[in-house]
């Protein structure tokens, strides 16, 4: 990783909250509940209602040590709009090198989705700060362990898809640097209190899996 803000956030806790479907009205209370639980990375997928409004609201409401950004970024042209909204993180389901380069040119952290070593190394060469292993259910801990043999730290490998408090440790043992958390953390309609409860369960799992990393909420 070369993006200082992402490095700092992941040193605190490598869990990315994926808030697919969140509305601007929910954005601030949910984000504050996540921050209070210890999260420092929040992603609003662009296929959510008014995602840039939510990103701006979160960015204005949260301390600077929490990175807020966009997910499901499919086009390099979207990067400038995300930055204008206060976004600092570009997360993708795929590995479009044009989007990676646009994010880096804008000074934003880039986390493309990769499913093969060829995609992974190409993304790193283009400037990716972290690699989203997606979908994690398909790749699994065995693939992660094999990748880790040739993609040594500080390359950040982050499984996304199907991660729960119960299976997080298995991926951690295989070499995961962090995780993207979707429906097991947040689903549309959940209250901030419910999201906070889910977040604390993930934080407890994180601390058990990475006991040397002293995360503080």
Question: pLDDT tens digit string along 6-24?
Answer: 999 999 999 999 999 999 9
Range 8-44 burial, b when 16+ CB lie within 10 A, else e: ebbebbbbbbbbbbbebebbbebbbbbbebbbbbbbb
In a domain, 121, yes or no: yes
The CATH number of the domain holding residue 41 is 3.20.20.70
Residue 213 in any domain: the answer is no
Whether the ω angle into residue 154 lies within 30 degrees of 0, i.e. cis, is yes
What is the pLDDT averaged over residues 36-42?
Answer: 98
pLDDT score of 18: 98
The catalytic residue among 26, 78, 83, 132 is: 132
212 within a domain of the structure (yes/no): no
Write out the residue range of the structural domain in which residue 31 sits. Answer: 4-207
* Residue ranges with strand state E in 46-153: 67-71, 89-91, 109-111, 113-114, 131-133
Quick one: pLDDT band at residue 214, thresholds 50, 70, 90?
A: low
Regarding predicted confidence, which is higher, 92 or 214?
92
Band of residue 212 on the pLDDT scale cut at 50, 70, 90: confident
Residue 216 resides in a domain: no
- Residue 139 resides in a domain: yes
pLDDT confidence of residue 1: 65
* Domain count within the chain: 1
Q: What value does the mean pLDDT take over residues 41-68?
A: 98
pLDDT value at residue 216: 45
Q: What is the mean pLDDT of residues 110-133?
A: 98
Q: Return the pLDDT at 97.
A: 98
Query: How far, rounded to the nearest angstrom, does the alpha carbon of residue 54 sit from its chain's CA centroid?
Result: 16
Residue 179's H or E segment, with its range, is strand 179-181
Is residue 137 annotated as part of the catalytic site, yes or no? no
* pLDDT for residue 217: 42
Instruction: Assess if residue 102 is contained within a domain.
Output: yes
Asked whether residue 154 is assigned to any structural domain, the reply reads yes
Q: Is 132 one of the annotated active-site residues of the chain?
A: yes
- Which of 26, 43, 78, 88 is catalytic? The answer is 43
Predicted local distance difference test score (pLDDT) of residue 2: 73
Is residue 31 one of the residues assigned to a domain?
Answer: yes
pTM of the predicted model as reported, rounded to 2 decimal places: 0.96
């Amino acid at each position: 990783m070369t993006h200082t803000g992402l490095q700092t956030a992941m040193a605190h806790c490598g869990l990315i909250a994926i808030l697919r479907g969140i509305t601007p009205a929910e954005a601030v209370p949910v984000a504050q509940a996540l921050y209070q639980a210890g999260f420092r990375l929040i992603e609003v997928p662009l296929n959510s209602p008014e995602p840039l409004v939510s990103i701006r609201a979160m960015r204005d409401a949260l301390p600077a040590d929490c990175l807020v950004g966009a997910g499901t970024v499919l086009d390099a042209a979207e990067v400038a709009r995300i930055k204008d909204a206060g976004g600092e993180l570009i997360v993708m389901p795929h590995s479009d090198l044009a989007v990676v380069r646009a994010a880096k040119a804008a000074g934003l952290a880039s986390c493309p989705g990769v499913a093969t070593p060829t995609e992974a190394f190409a993304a790193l060469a283009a400037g990716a700060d972290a690699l989203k292993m997606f979908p994690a259910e398909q790749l699994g801990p065995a693939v992660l362990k094999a990748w880790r043999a040739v993609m040594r730290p500080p390359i950040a490998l982050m499984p996304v898809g199907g991660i729960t408090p119960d299976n997080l440790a298995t991926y951690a043992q295989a070499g995961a640097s962090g995780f993207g958390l979707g429906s097991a953390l947040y689903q549309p309609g959940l209250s901030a209190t419910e999201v906070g409860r889910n977040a604390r369960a993930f934080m407890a799992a994180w601390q058990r899996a990475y006991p040397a990393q002293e995360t503080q909420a």
